[in-house]
Amino acid sequence: MSSGPKAQPKTKTIHVKALARVEGEGALFLKTDGDRVVDVKLNIYEPPRFFEAFLRGRSYREVPDITARICGICPVAYQMSSCHALEEAFGLEVAEPYRALRRLLYCGEWIESHVLHMFMLHLPDFLGYDSAISMAADHQDLVTQALQYKKAGNDIVKMIGGREVHPINVRVGGFYRLPTRREFAPVLERLKRIRDFAVEACRFVAKLDFPDLDVDYEFVALRHHTDYPFNEGNLVSNKGLDAPIAEFSRHFQEQHVEHSNALHAVRLNGRGDYLVGPLARINLNFDRLPEMVREVAKEIGFIVPCRNNFMSIIARGLESLYAVEHAIEILEDYEQPDQPGLDVVPCAGVGHGCTEAPRGILYHTYETDPEGLIVSADIVPPTAQNQRRIEMDLTEFAPSLLNKPEAEMTLRLEQLIRNYDPCISCATHFLKLNWEKTP
Amino acid sequence: MTPRVRIIGCGTFGNGDDQVGLEVAKRIRAVREDWDVVLDTGGGSNALDWAEGADLLVLVDACHAGNGLDLGQMLRIDYIRHPDVLEQCPFLSSHAMSIATGLKLLATLDRLPEHVEVYGVGARAFDPLKPFSPPVIAAVPELADRIIENVNLFLDSSPCTNSA
């Protein structure tokens, strides 16, 4: 970290060179003038551009496995969005029992991703530790149970996806192989063992000390007519959006910005930034949660709409609890289907898929030729959609920190970025943050 | 009492040399079907499972070649005696939590096995869907043999065992 002259600064630029506990690599530049933030640039490096080009000319069969490689923490989301898009292109509807099994797989990913972020990446901020390891020294039972909680998610993904990271058992039309009820039994047992802790985790995070933040976000998420959204639904917002996912490009657009390799997604017609992810999802779909989860939310005092994104950790806790309950429900009713998936007849077409990755909506669209080879692909990941909103949050939140010591200000800004659980890439954990101060 | 040995091959299938820990573990399992050998793609967040009931924990993962470590060459670290060495090693982590973090968590939670050995294999190609570097894949059988040999030495040096 570097700072300007030691005289009372008027203008500042912060350069924090390593923000840990985010997924991927990038840099943040923040410049302030007096009590105003005059410049914020979140510079990140996203791989999906490469993957879109890489997909051209490949068979539809390869797409779920190739796109899963985009991210090590949310590969299921990429598989689900790609499968749904290609199934639409081929006019194939995948209903029960495969629909429930896809939701089960997503439950595993949400548990894995949310619990990792809540306890290993985000919680140390709130409790005043520099890492999960230093936090573990004082909270051994909590961290031990959190690891077991995450493992319950790993087990689901491993059992139905074939392995914990970059699962290989998903295909257009369903799965390659489905486990027997007996094979699922240990997964179900672990989920039942973790159930009480899933509730306790919600109670624990609800008691944290949350910085003040009240932002009039445009929340965007999927909304399904009966279920809490994973794989289906319309695109909705709290500001009037209600559109089928096929109209994604009529409402959202990716734009190049000079300071980042990643594209910024914005709402069209001058609507600008918006927020996707657990806070948006729960605000827009609270009534789709089962009563048990809503009761826990009520008990811990979580009220929607919630406009403080620091409380996204509570949303993650409640969504994780939902995932545990929903997975148990699916597994208790599970009967192995006769076939692991539907037959697929490829054709020329265009399809759209949008599903709820842990960090928010993940949109895919593909054009295929008559043999099912990919003619074109477009992928809009959630972090690209939140990128501008992160910069806006920093702009709005930073002035309240200007009288704080630089180290504390930096920590709070990093914490704010971690509210979004940004999945910058799955390869390394590194974000450079720069704060420039000019007298 | 028979010491319990667990061998964990870490990595990401399909990501070039990042698979080497998995390949070595597969090779060990093929040679010693009676041993507890796990192919782990979940990274350090599975550390509690790694340690559960193990007296000797063996981890194999890719690490960046360089600084004297050639492609396919293996570095052996006695983690209990030299935990800091692991932090200085440029281990690749395309996992959500690295094995170094997983081991540090185990230490913090007082759950480290009595013996922990980490084998880092010099590697270079980590991108998704990339093939192995030829020297890395060529080294797999020898690396597996050396680990088997080292585990056997450990078992032989313990009072009453010859199995993992």
Sheet holding A242-243, edge to edge: A220-223, A234-237, A242-243
From A34's Cα to the closest Cα of chain B, the distance in A is: 39
pLDDT at A61 over 70: yes
What average pLDDT does this structure show over A112-116? Answer: 93
Determine the pLDDT at residue A429. Answer: 24
Contacts of A143 in chain B (CB under 8 A): 105, 108-109
Dihedral, CA of residue A294, residue A297, residue A302 and residue A303, to nearest 10: 20
pLDDT at A416 over 60: yes
ipTM of the assembly? Answer: 0.79
Query: Quick check: B84 contacting A, CB < 8 Å?
Result: no
Nearest to A164 among B41, B48, B128 (CB): B41
Confidence of residue A436 (pLDDT cuts 50, 70, 90): low
Q: What percent of chain A has pLDDT over 90?
A: 63
Nearest to B109 among A73, A140, A150 (CB): A140
Would you tell me which residues 130-159 of chain B have a C-beta closer than 8 angstroms to some C-beta of chain A? Answer: none
Distance of CA A8 to the CA centre of its chain: 40
Determine the pLDDT at residue A335. Answer: 95
Helix-then-strand count for chain A, H and E: 14, 14
How far is the C-alpha of B13 from the C-alpha of B149, rounded, in Å? 26
How far is the C-alpha of B1 from the C-alpha of B80, rounded, in Å? 21
How far is the C-alpha of A190 from the C-alpha of A412, rounded, in Å? 36
From A348's Cα to the closest Cα of chain B, the distance in A is: 27
Which of helix, strand or coil describes residue A437? strand
Contacts of B110 in chain A (CB under 8 A): 140
What average pLDDT does this structure show over A109-118? Answer: 94
Q: CB of B42 within 8 A of CB of A165?
A: yes
- ∠ CA A125-A421-B45 to the nearest 5 degrees? 80
Determine the pLDDT at residue A137. Answer: 93
Determine the pLDDT at residue A23. Answer: 53
Confidence of residue A424 (pLDDT cuts 50, 70, 90): low
Whole-structure pTM value: 0.87
Contacts of A427 in chain B (CB under 8 A): 94, 126
Burial-class residue A294 by CB neighbours within 10 Å (0-12, 13-18, 19+): middle
Q: Which residue has the higher pLDDT, A105 or A67?
A: A105
Confidence of residue A180 (pLDDT cuts 50, 70, 90): very high
pLDDT at A310 over 90: yes
- ∠ CA A330-A331-A332 to the nearest 5 degrees? 95
Determine the pLDDT at residue B160. Answer: 56
Which of helix, strand or coil describes residue A438? strand
Contacts of A72 in chain B (CB under 8 A): 12, 94-96
What average pLDDT does this structure show over A293-306? Answer: 98
Nearest to B80 by CA among B17, B140, B154, B159: B154
Q: Write phi, then psi, for B92 (nearest 5 degrees).
A: -75, 140
Contacts of B41 in chain A (CB under 8 A): 163-166
Average pLDDT, chain A: 87
Per-residue b or e along B32-61, where b marks 16 or more CB atoms closer than 10 Å to that residue's CB: beebebbbbbbbbbbbbbbbeebbbbbbbb
Residues 6+ apart with CB under 8 A from A182: none
Mutate to test the interface with B, among A22, A45, A49, A165 (most CBs of B within 10 A): A165
How far is the C-alpha of A305 from the C-alpha of B128, rounded, in Å? 40
Confidence of residue A5 (pLDDT cuts 50, 70, 90): very low
Determine the pLDDT at residue A49. Answer: 52
Using only the alpha carbons of chain B, give its radius of gyration.
15
Tens of pLDDT, residues A335-385: 999 999 999 999 999 999 999 999 999 999 999 999 999 999 998 888 888
From A144's Cα to the closest Cα of chain B, the distance in A is: 7
Q: CB of A40 within 8 A of CB of A438?
A: no
Confidence of residue A21 (pLDDT cuts 50, 70, 90): very low
Instruction: Give the residue ranges of chain B where pLDDT is below 70.
Output: 87-96, 159-164
Q: CB of A368 within 8 A of CB of A347?
A: yes
Determine the pLDDT at residue A7. Answer: 47
Tens of pLDDT, residues A314-331: 999 999 999 999 999 999
Nearest to A147 among B12, B41, B48 (CB): B48
Which of helix, strand or coil describes residue A343? coil
pLDDT at A16 over 80: no
Confidence of residue A280 (pLDDT cuts 50, 70, 90): very high
- C-beta neighbour count of A377 within 10 angstroms: 23
- Three-state SS for A349-379 is EEEEEEEEECCEEEEEEEEECCCCEEEEEEE
